[in-house]
Amino acid sequence: MHPLLRLLACAALSMAVIGAACGGGASEESTASKTAAPVTNPVDPNTASAITGVVTLQGTPPPNPPINMGSDPYCMKLGAATTRVFVVSDDSGLENVFVYVKDGLGSLKFPVPSSPVVLDQKGCSYSPRVFGIQVGQSLDIVNSDETLHNVHALPMANREFNRGQSLQGMKFTTTFTAPEVMLPFKCDVHKWMNAWVGVLEHPFYAVSGKAGAFALAGLPPGTYTIEAWHEKLGAQTQQVTIGPKESKKISFIFKV
Amino acid sequence: MFHLYAVLVAAFTGILIFAGGLVTSTESGLSVPDWPNTYGYFMFFFPLEKMVGGIRYEHTHRLIASTVGFLILVLAAWLWRAETRRWVRRLGYLALAAVITQGILGGITVLWYLPDPISIAHASLAQIVFCLTMTIALVTSPGWKRAYEAQEGTPLRRSGRQGPAPDDLMLQRVAAVTTGLIYLQIVVGATMRHTGAGLAIPDFPLMFGQLIPPHWDSKIAIHFAHRAGALIVSLAILATTGHVLYHHRSRSELRRPALLLLALLATQVTLGALTVLSKKEFIINSLHVVTGASVLVTSLVLTLRAHRARFAADGRGADASASADTRIGRLAGDHA
């Protein structure tokens, strides 16, 4: 055989082998995805229970210092703003506390919601400031401002990222691969912008809203460790036992 | 002409170090997440109106760094074309290699989210680049070249104040050791900055109200090392300047950088104290960085001048016609 033809034949053979190898990999992946059992909610709706409650702040809440937005004319013209570290209602309810089931679910697996969680950069602040998400669930990070932001995640258990969003309307979608409470975000352009996400393998989490109220619904009966986390005041836990179709009320009290 | 250009490059390098200090002091290092582009824009086309918040510091630092890189490229090419001394040409190549490496380190540290070792290396190499550009400016100065003639007994064209360089072994050693210690102190300072240990000891001059910290962790240890280093460096500078003022008071090319060194030391210690007491106010913090660099290069100039006799062989044929005082002398407080 002519050396050139021999070379071409070898090249063709090599390509075929590589192609087969790659195809094989894809096929395995495809097979694996076919054989993986879809995760369904393991909680029997007939016995599902709930834990509800309220987070309160005892003592005089420290003032939220004003934010100097002078480094960005766009943010500056939005008007005066303060940090939202202590958002307290008239009856001492404390907002933005992440409440979740820390322990007690054993090896139960829960389906990942198909709808994404949205973290918006609006008015030169993050909205929401504190939120939860499940491992594998999409997080859409959008920029609604007419200025640019960078979204810098500072995880311990997940992969760090830092993405720039220079134009209004830009969106970046990501997921987290490991549970982590709490995972902070910051904007290095605007130092005052901070947010925290609790990444969990289950859907039993809530963020205290107005008057400090929260609800963890759809839980299977059992004994749970419930944790409440606040960005400045730290975390508190308590044990709660609930029976079938029971709704139990608990409270967390943070002191300043 | 070349000497003027070299001084310009050295001055720009000093400005770049100040700009870098501003980036770390304002924690703006990651405000531009991409590199070498800026938010997807080619660096030089990034719109001015988008330079807000931390981007002002980081992007400005990148622009100055690019300018310094270009200036050093021209410097190296100019040396290659016009400089007769091989070792000076090599200094130019070394400065070029250092500034390119510096740029790459700067990019890597952004893309890898400011890992401490890379950021510390970036800060430490910046000082080397500054030393190289300052050295090039010094050894291409008319004053430096005139000293060669004096060394060889050639009559001086100007006043007789420029005599042969002193071959004072003690001065050479103490000045070299001092320069080395200053550099080490700057590396410890960079480690302190990049590991967030700048306020690990929150009071000054005592440490948690005592002479020695009552408790320790890694950050307190780094911070303590920087303070202890400051004491050691201060003693070394006092030894060097004391030696110059005692033995070589009449030699202005040594006396003036020595006096400048003392003034810079006092400024630097004050800035260090203010950095702690002001809880790292960013301008004070950045001035502390650039003053530290100035202490280093002033000590380097003094050291090189103390060793000038050793360079005499390279001075043959050097242009002795320069009549103006050297610009490097102005930077280092010397008219020689």
Confidence of residue B162 (pLDDT cuts 50, 70, 90): very low
Mean pLDDT across A214-220: 96
Task: Round the CA-based radius of gyration of chain B to a whole number and report it.
Answer: 21
Closest chain B CA to residue A163: B33
Closest chain B CA to residue A70: B53
CB contacts, 8 Å: A188 with chain B = 27-31, 53-54
φ, ψ of residue A24 in degrees (nearest 5): -60, -45
Residue contact B30–A152, C-beta within 8 A: yes
CA distances from A146 to A121, B56, B153 (A): 10, 17, 71
pLDDT of res. B166: 53
Tens-digit pLDDT profile for residues A144-168:
999 999 999 999 999 999 999 999 9
CA dihedral B163, B164, B165, B166 (to 10 degrees): -100
Tens-digit pLDDT profile for residues B235-255:
999 999 999 999 999 999 999
pLDDT of res. B1: 86
Note the ipTM here.
0.80
* SS3 (DSSP) at B62: helix
**Residue B72 burial (CB count, 10 A):** 25
Q: Give the start-to-end residue ranges of the domains of chain A.
A: 1-36, 49-255
Mean pLDDT across B271-291: 97
Tens-digit pLDDT profile for residues B10-54:
999 999 999 999 999 999 999 999 999 999 999 999 999 999 999
Mean pLDDT across B179-197: 97
Determine the Cα–Cα distance for residues B193 and B285; give it in Å rounded to an integer.
10
The answer to whether residue B107 neighbours chain A at the CB level (below 8 Å) is no
Query: Which residues lie below 8 Å from residue A91, measured CB to CB, with a gap of 6+?
Result: A56, A211
Residue B329, burial from CB neighbour count under 10 angstroms (0-12, 13-18, 19+): buried
Confidence of residue B158 (pLDDT cuts 50, 70, 90): very low
CB contacts, 8 Å: A155 with chain B = none
Cα first-last separation, chain B: 17
pLDDT of res. B151: 55
In the DSSP assignment, the letter for residue B39 is T
The answer to whether residue B54 neighbours chain A at the CB level (below 8 Å) is yes
In angstroms, what separates the C-alpha of A149 from chain B's closest C-alpha?
Answer: 8
The fold of A49-255 is Immunoglobulin-like (2.60.40)
Least confident interval from A21-35, A36-50, A213-227: A21-35
pLDDT of res. B259: 98
Residue contact A188–B34, C-beta within 8 A: no
In the DSSP assignment, the letter for residue A63 is P
What tokens does A61 get?
Answer: 């809440």
Considering only CB atoms, B53 lies closest to which of A71, A152, A162, namely: A71
pLDDT of res. B150: 60
Least confident interval from B243-252, B262-271, B276-285, B326-335: B326-335
**Residues facing residue B292 across a β-bridge:** none
CB contacts, 8 Å: A75 with chain B = 52
pTM: 0.83
Confidence of residue B306 (pLDDT cuts 50, 70, 90): very high
User: Over pLDDT 90: what percentage of chain B?
Assistant: 82
Considering only CB atoms, B33 lies closest to which of A72, A73, A163, namely: A163
DSSP per-residue letters across B225-241: HHHHHHHHHHHHHHHHH
What is the identity of the amino acid at A72? D
CA A71 from centre of chain: 29
B2 within 8 A of B144, measured Cβ to Cβ? no
Cα first-last separation, chain A: 88
pLDDT of res. B324: 35
Task: Round the CA-based radius of gyration of chain A to a whole number and report it.
Answer: 24
Determine the Cα–Cα distance for residues A52 and B138; give it in Å rounded to an integer.
75
